[in-house]
Copies of this chain bind each other. A is one copy, B any other.
Amino acid sequence: MTKEVQANRVTAGMIVIGDEILSGRTKDKNIGTVADFCADLSIELTEVRIVSDEISNIVEAVNALRERYTYVFTTGGIGPTHDDITADAVADAFGVELKVDDRAIKMMQDRFTDYPMNEGRLRMARIPVGGELIPNTVSGAPGIKIGNVFVMAGVPKIMQGMLEAIAPELDTGVQQYTASCDSHVGESSLSSGLAALQNSYPTVKIGSYPQMGSDKYMTQIVLRSPDKDLLDEATQKVREIIETATNKKLKI
């Protein structure tokens, strides 16, 4: 990858917070959504961590990833109950206080009429000092932006709304072009050709994905590059590798 491209890389890490995912009780749906969201904006999602509802685990993950990536997206743990500790952990990670925020109360009361601020609702209005609010069009209680960290809800519908809300302010990376080629041979028949091709085209990322469950072997080759011409060249060579392997297989 050339220096120019490196300079324009926009990267992201994601932290999924919640015992319910780790216990198997809830199957995560947010990772795929964030991955697609990043791909659409040419942001490279580079790492995801799923951590349990323990302050120290969340603090460690937030601090590790916010140093490393352009953006960090967290999901989960910002509701009104005692096990919702993400705001506390993010405040800890940034070394700032966590305070009930009038803007947050206003946002919640603007969303619903008759919304008395009980203990749980006040809990959701606590924002790390210096944080900005992310609107929540579904249930009112805001997400939080602080530094390069975006703290969002775990409920998929609310999380998706928050992603839409923050999209306009995110830097986007260099557009990546992709191409894919399907084949009816096993991965092993393609591997040496693909390895040599990857060496010749270091700026084109070539991935190989076997597909199980069908009657026959199926392998999909996916190519990705910021350089459209190089991508087209490499894709043509993948087609030739597949053709050679297929003809060889037919002869056997």
Which A residues have a C-beta under 8 Å from some C-beta of B? Answer: 16, 19-28, 31-32, 35-36, 38-39, 44-53, 57, 79-84, 118-121, 123-124, 138-139, 155-158, 186-192, 194-195, 198, 205-210, 212-213, 222, 224
Query: Would you call A50 and B52 a contact (CB within 8 A)?
Result: no
Q: How far is the CB of A223 from chain B (nearest CB, A)?
A: 11
The 6 listed contacts between A and B (C-beta, < 8 Å) are: A22-B45, A27-B32, A49-B49, A82-B191, A82-B198, A120-B192
Query: Of the candidates B49, B207, B208, B210, which one forms a contact with A48 in the assembled complex, judged by CB atoms under 8 Å apart?
Result: B49
Q: How far is the CB of A31 from chain B (nearest CB, A)?
A: 7
Query: Would you call A189 and B25 a contact (CB within 8 A)?
Result: no
CA distance in complex: A66, B88 (Å): 28
Contacts of A121 in B (CB 8 A): 188
Contacts of A123 in B (CB 8 A): 191
Q: Which 3 A-B pairs have the closest CB atoms?
A: A120-B191, A24-B35, A120-B188
CA distance in complex: A121, B188 (Å): 6
Query: Would you call B210 and A79 a contact (CB within 8 A)?
Result: yes
